[in-house]
């Protein structure tokens, strides 16, 4: 694409959203060891099925292959990564350095996150950073895209050199199920002000509450400034549904869904059916620009789910597109 295409990063995800397609993103958790074979395997399931795949950043504070490295491997296996970056482990110096690093390695999407507290992970005695919060982080990445570091200095190698900013498509997460509920849309508005381009939500099970939140988003006109990708997760079994209801922080799983899973003869099939119904409903919800499918340790089912949802094949984009 030539200059003046209006793209901020030229990433595939950005192009799909800018063209008005209903976007699909997936998720890939990097391995907990120096054996990368699982990345290739998971990429095999997701390739050509999703527009981009989130590479988690030491999620739940458990040490894993870094999101940049796993992102580069995902790229080699034909997927466009969304590099997640949490505020827990890096200060503003390390973040900006890693953003430059990720960019020179070809990464074009970033997801700015606060990050789970380290007490959840395998190094609970570590020291956290939280130099920035996720809203400040979004603003920093946006400033970098515009050519300046957070400190105000221009991003160039010398006074005579051209500006060489990392042009990232900037995402963030939002949890409509967090409290206080009335603040959740305010938080999104703050992220929009900071310059976020897209949002992926926490997995949605409580559809009425999600829709209430979406209504507030639309009332504030935020859906016109930010692409909202609604998070969905298929239950593998009734046990998983129950576990997520009772043990996972920041989620609400209605009892009716757990009961439905319990009554089903084929739990896995029922879980997929529920997921398909949710995707259907989300596609019809005003302001929802796509889905973020988090098939937790169930990546192999992603092709089936997306095919049955009528979301494959994915639209073609200009692979050579650059940000204008």
Partner 1 sequence: MIIAERKPIEDIRRMVEGHDRVLVLGCGTCVAVCMAGGEKEVAILASALRMAEPEKEFKEATIERQCEREFIEEVRTTSDGYDLILSLACGAGVGFTAELLEEHRVVPGLNTKSIGVAEQPGNWSERCLACGECVLDLTGAVCPIARCSKSLLNGPCGGSQDGMCEIDPKNVQCGWQIIYDRLAKLGRLDLMEENRPPKDWSAAHAGGPRRVLREDAEP
Binder to partner 1 among 13, 70, 83, 87 (CB under 8 A)?
87
Q: CA angle at residue 306 from 191 to 15, to 5 degrees?
A: 45
Is 60 a binding residue for partner 1 by CB under 8 A? The answer is: no
Binder to partner 1 among 66, 84, 202, 216 (CB under 8 A)?
202
Binder to partner 1 among 21, 47, 77, 92 (CB under 8 A)?
92
Is 111 a binding residue for partner 1 by CB under 8 A? The answer is: no
Is 136 a binding residue for partner 1 by CB under 8 A? The answer is: yes
Is 221 a binding residue for partner 1 by CB under 8 A? The answer is: no
Size of site (CB under 8 A) for partner 1: 37
Count CB neighbours of 124 within 10 A.
10
Binder to partner 1 among 62, 100, 164, 189 (CB under 8 A)?
189
Report how far residue 250's alpha carbon sits from residue 138's, in angstroms, rounded to the nearest whole number.
Answer: 22
Give the closest residue to 104 by CA, choosing from 75, 77, 132. Answer: 75
Report how far residue 90's alpha carbon sits from residue 134's, in angstroms, rounded to the nearest whole number.
Answer: 12
Give the closest residue to 102 by CA, choosing from 74, 67, 68. Answer: 68
Of residues 193 and 300, the one with the C-beta less far from partner 1: 193
Count CB neighbours of 53 within 10 A.
30
Is 245 a binding residue for partner 1 by CB under 8 A? The answer is: no
Of residues 220 and 301, the one with the C-beta less far from partner 1: 220
Is 180 a binding residue for partner 1 by CB under 8 A? The answer is: yes
Token couple for 299? 């990546």
Of residues 195 and 290, the one with the C-beta less far from partner 1: 195
Report how far residue 229's alpha carbon sits from residue 318's, in angstroms, rounded to the nearest whole number.
Answer: 22
Bridge partners (DSSP) listed for residue 109: 82, 169
CB of 60 to partner 1, least distance (A): 11
Give the closest residue to 176 by CA, choosing from 311, 310, 287, 14. Answer: 287
Is 66 a binding residue for partner 1 by CB under 8 A? The answer is: no
- Provide CB contacts within 8 A for 210, sequence distance 6+: 176, 177, 201, 204, 230
Is 243 a binding residue for partner 1 by CB under 8 A? The answer is: no
CB of 128 to partner 1, least distance (A): 7
Candidates 48-56, 102-110, 115-123, 288-296: pick the segment binding partner 1 (CB under 8 A).
115-123
Token couple for 30? 């990097």
Is 139 a binding residue for partner 1 by CB under 8 A? The answer is: yes
Is 291 a binding residue for partner 1 by CB under 8 A? The answer is: no
Of residues 87 and 317, the one with the C-beta less far from partner 1: 87
DSSP three-state, residue 134: helix
């Amino acid at each position: 694409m030539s200059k003046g295409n209006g793209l901020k990063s030229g990433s595939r995800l950005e192009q799909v959203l800018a063209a008005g397609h209903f976007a699909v993103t997936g998720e890939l958790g990097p391995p907990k060891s120096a054996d990368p074979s699982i990345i290739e395997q998971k990429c095999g399931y997701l390739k050509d099925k999703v527009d981009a795949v989130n590479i988690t950043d030491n999620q739940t504070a458990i040490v894993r292959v870094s999101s940049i490295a796993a992102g580069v491997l995902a790229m080699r296996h034909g997927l466009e990564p969304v590099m997640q970056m949490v505020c827990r482990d890096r200060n503003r110096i390390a973040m900006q350095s890693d953003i430059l690093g990720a960019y020179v390695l070809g990464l074009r999407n970033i997801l700015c996150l606060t990050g789970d507290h380290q007490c959840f992970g395998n190094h609970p005695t570590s020291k956290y950073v939280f130099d920035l919060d996720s809203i400040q982080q979004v603003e920093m990445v946006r400033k970098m895209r515009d050519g300046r570091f957070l400190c105000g200095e221009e991003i160039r190698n010398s006074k005579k050199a051209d500006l060489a900013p990392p042009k990232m498509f900037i995402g963030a997460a939002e949890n409509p199920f967090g409290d206080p509920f009335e603040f959740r849309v305010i938080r999104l508005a703050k992220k929009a002000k900071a310059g976020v381009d897209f949002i992926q939500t926490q997995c949605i099970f409580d559809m009425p509450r999600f829709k209430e939140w979406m209504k507030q988003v639309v009332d504030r006109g935020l859906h016109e400034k930010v692409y909202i990708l609604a998070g969905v997760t298929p239950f593998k079994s009734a046990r998983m549904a129950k576990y997520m209801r009772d043990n996972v922080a920041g989620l609400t799983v209605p009892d009716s869904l757990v009961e439905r899973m319990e009554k089903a003869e084929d739990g896995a099939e029922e879980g997929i059916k529920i997921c398909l119904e949710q995707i259907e409903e989300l596609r019809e919800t005003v302001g929802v620009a796509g889905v973020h499918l988090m098939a937790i340790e169930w990546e192999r089912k992603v092709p089936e789910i997306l095919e049955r949802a009528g979301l494959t094949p994915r639209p073609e984009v200009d692979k050579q597109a650059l940000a204008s």
